[in-house]
Structure 1
Amino acid sequence: MSLLRPWLARGIAALALLTTASLTLAQTPTAAARPRITVLATGGTIAGAGASAANSATYQAAKVPVDKLIAGVPELSDVAVVKGEQVFQIASESFTNDKLLTLGKRVSALAKDPEVDGIVITHGTDTLEETAYFLNLVVNTDKPIVVVGSMRPGTAMSADGMLNLYDAVVVAGSRDARGKGVLVAMNDEIHSGRDVTKRVNIKTNAFFSQWGPLGMVVEGRSYWFRLPAKRHTANSEFNIDKIDALPEVQIIYGAGNMALQMYEAPQRAGAKAVIHAGTGNGSVAGYAVDALRGLRSAGMVVIRSSRVGDGFVLRNSEQPDDKYDWVVAHDLNPQKAKILAAVALTKTSDTQELQRIFWEY
């Protein structure tokens, strides 16, 4: 019996090693099984760099190229086959209509590619919500599109970009994310691109949705709790492939003691619509009503929104919208209302149709 013990011990050790290797292979998805994700980089804080690790709010945005962003998160290869493409390298406050169109058309082309299962867009946080909503309106696909950014550059202590990017790739590669519209993955949460907005400028929990997030990402797995109710992506009547220009839309920010010259500026700029970011329920000061009515009489569409973070504007409350032929933005904040107005005006300037669109999207 003693002569058999060394052989038996070696056999048991070999069997254990083989079992461990088999389990490891079973738990690690092959390249063929992993989703194929394209990361489109546009710049922003997630690609930023500070002078030292202590600089979390003072830094230069849009410095790190997409290949280095991807290489900085080696765990991405565990969950997806990832390719990168540099579309822009800018801070997001510099996004223009032309850049929205360029990005949207590239996303649409990738969404049609059978070799692409999902798309991630790295973006500066300042206008991330506008881009996410724009794509939500105009890209006709059910493939996951996830917009992601960070509040701290990768050079900072407790930088959030690495985990945010990892989570975004996880969501973009999830079958459960299909058909849910354009999503935003930030701070472990999954938000609808329609609802989400940036409310804080120096904290990592900067993005909120007044109706709540759609889900969460925890340790490489997405969990879902609600669905978006408004029309989007594959169910949208708008198509980026047919849009080559966006009409000019401007915002007038409501406050006490308004200067009426502000109401003249959008018309001089050739705007087709103006978003009035009123106080409270989209209120318009009594002395400014005639100025807005004058804009409408001149052919400009007037849309009442609110500068208040949450809630929505009630039609014919505060102002007789039917009488003045104005549109209300429902629950969209001024910057989101501006995006929807620009997209909608590519198809119609009829105020009844525009109001329908604001209810549905």
Structure 2
Amino acid sequence: MKRTFQTLLCGIALTMPTLAAQAQDAATATAAAAAQAAIQKAAQRHVVVLATGGTIAGAGASAMNSASYTAAKVPVEQLLAGLPEVQEVARVTGEQVFQIASESFTNAELLTLAKRVSELAKQADVDGIVVTHGTDTMEETGFFLNLVVQTDKPIVLVGSMRPGTAISADGALNLLNAIGVAASGDAAGKGALVVMNDEIHTARDVAKLINIKTGAFVSQWGPLGMVVEGRNYWFRAPIKRHTTGSEFNIDEISELPAVEIAYSYGNVAPTVVEALGASGVKAIVHAGTGNGSVPNRIVPKLTELSEKGTIIVRSSRVPAGFVLRNAEQPDDKYDWVVAHDLNPQKARILAAVALTKTQDTKELQRIFWEY
């Protein structure tokens, strides 16, 4: 028994240094892991979230209210605080630029937002920018940023179709995906993007085609890619000129000329066209039927305005396809511009931006082909 006890003591004595060494190793590993985590956190890409309001910042009376709610209620700090997962994706800071529903955006808001995006893009410590935005005019704001902010850093617009208070709200995942895209190196150089419903779209092509479904945003030429469990999958790249390839620079634009849209339909009267002409607008985008058709009773009014110096852009209210020059109307004869595949609201944006450079219709048509 005495020998057995001595043997046990010897075994414990021999084991203690090993256990101590293991404990020290574990402590060292823990410290190293903590240091590595700190390094990784410090090395995270910095994404600035510019909040402008919209449904993603909205709130309903109950969880059942997914389509009836008040937009632009939740500040950016609260949006980010409710999504702690973003801190694993990037180092995120937020700014409240506006707190409005996007249907209330004007040219003034476009200019203010674009100038702030441009300022941030010039900062060495900013790697990407996310703009939270109401969905009603997000495609227009995105296209404007695509045209005038000269940076290769990711600019990502995001919104939601349901307020955060609703059952199955889509805003949190949309925002997380948008921040992930903005933080990723592979989104650089692709211009302004819209991330909605797990899809990555170029802001140039995307349009809101449904008003109460989460899959509301569609590009007729297809999305650029998808986000699945935080990983980007790319399938194509934008071809049209944008951002660093653009001849337009928000730093040189202080105001936008007046451009309005005249919507066409069966039995349309020339009243709107006449009123717009009398108001002194610089350009009228005619949202025609089919291939940008213009009713015979409207043609004389538009040609008269064109002869007096108002730029006429012939577009289509049809959500897909593109307007062919000199088809349906003799555009060369009338000196009109065709909008190509841009919908009327985006044609308005491009016309306004282009008119800050030129009023020559041949130059304007070139711009519509290239952008």
TM-score range normalised by the length of the shorter chain? over 0.9
| Rg (Cα) greater in structure | 2
| Aligned equivalent of 1:128 | 138
Q: Does 2:363 match 1:350?
A: no
| Identity within the alignment, % | 66
- Structure 1 unpaired stretches of 5+: none
SS at match of 1:31: helix
CA–CA separation in structure 2 for the residues paired with 1:114 and 1:23: 28
Contact persistence 1:304–1:327 (CA under 8 A): yes
- Structure 2 unpaired stretches of 5+: 1-6
> After TM superposition, what 4+ stretches of structure 1 lie above 3 angstroms from structure 2?
1-29
Residue of structure 2 aligned with 1:56, choices 48, 66, 70 = 66
CA 1:6/1:96 → structure 2, altered by over 3 Å: closer, same or farther? same
- For 1:129-208, list aligned pairs within 5 A: 129-208=139-218
- For 1:303-318, list aligned pairs within 5 A: 303-318=313-328
Q: How much has 1:269 moved relative to structure 2?
A: 2.6
Q: Root-mean-square deviation (CA), in Å?
A: 2.0
- For 1:261-340, list aligned pairs within 5 A: 261-340=271-350
SS at match of 1:30: helix
Question: TM-score of the superposition, structure 2-length normalised?
Answer: 0.92
Opposite residue 255 of structure 2, the aligned amino acid is A
Q: How much has 1:6 moved relative to structure 2?
A: 7.6
CA 1:159/1:299 → structure 2, altered by over 3 Å: closer, same or farther? same
| Aligned equivalent of 2:270 | 260
CA–CA separation in structure 1 for the residues paired with 2:33 and 2:230: 19
Q: How much has 1:260 moved relative to structure 2?
A: 1.1
Q: How much has 1:262 moved relative to structure 2?
A: 1.4
Contact persistence 1:137–1:233 (CA under 8 A): yes
SS at match of 2:319: coil
Q: Does 2:232 match 1:222?
A: yes
CA–CA separation in structure 2 for the residues paired with 1:331 and 1:20: 57
CA 1:29/1:189 → structure 2, altered by over 3 Å: closer, same or farther? farther
Q: How much has 1:288 moved relative to structure 2?
A: 1.5
* CA shift digits 1:324-359 (9 cap, x unpaired): 000000000000000000000000010000000000
Question: TM-score of the superposition, structure 1-length normalised?
Answer: 0.95
Q: How much has 1:19 moved relative to structure 2?
A: 6.4
Q: How much has 1:32 moved relative to structure 2?
A: 2.0
Q: How much has 1:286 moved relative to structure 2?
A: 1.6
| Aligned equivalent of 1:40 | 50
SS at match of 2:147: helix
Q: How much has 1:268 moved relative to structure 2?
A: 2.6
* CA shift digits 1:113-133 (9 cap, x unpaired): 111111000000000000000
* CA shift digits 1:156-203 (9 cap, x unpaired): 010010011101110111111110000011000110010000000100
SS at match of 1:359: helix
CA–CA separation in structure 2 for the residues paired with 1:246 and 1:117: 29
CA–CA separation in structure 1 for the residues paired with 2:180 and 2:24: 35
| Aligned equivalent of 2:4 | none
Q: Bigger shift: 139-148 or 292-301?
A: 292-301
Aligned pairs, how many? 361
CA–CA separation in structure 1 for the residues paired with 2:15 and 2:168: 51
Q: How much has 1:295 moved relative to structure 2?
A: 1.4
| Aligned equivalent of 2:369 | 359
| Aligned equivalent of 1:242 | 252
* CA shift digits 1:262-297 (9 cap, x unpaired): 111212332100011111100111221111111111
- For 1:52-91, list aligned pairs within 5 A: 52-91=62-101
CA 1:28/1:221 → structure 2, altered by over 3 Å: closer, same or farther? farther
Q: How much has 1:223 moved relative to structure 2?
A: 1.4
Q: How much has 1:298 moved relative to structure 2?
A: 1.8
CA–CA separation in structure 1 for the residues paired with 2:349 and 2:264: 19
Q: How much has 1:21 moved relative to structure 2?
A: 8.2
Q: Bigger shift: 133-142 or 253-262?
A: 253-262
Q: How much has 1:31 moved relative to structure 2?
A: 2.3
CA 1:31/1:315 → structure 2, altered by over 3 Å: closer, same or farther? same
CA–CA separation in structure 2 for the residues paired with 1:301 and 1:75: 49
CA 1:105/1:33 → structure 2, altered by over 3 Å: closer, same or farther? same
Opposite residue 354 of structure 1, the aligned amino acid is L
CA–CA separation in structure 1 for the residues paired with 2:304 and 2:90: 55
CA 1:29/1:330 → structure 2, altered by over 3 Å: closer, same or farther? farther
Contact persistence 1:28–1:78 (CA under 8 A): no
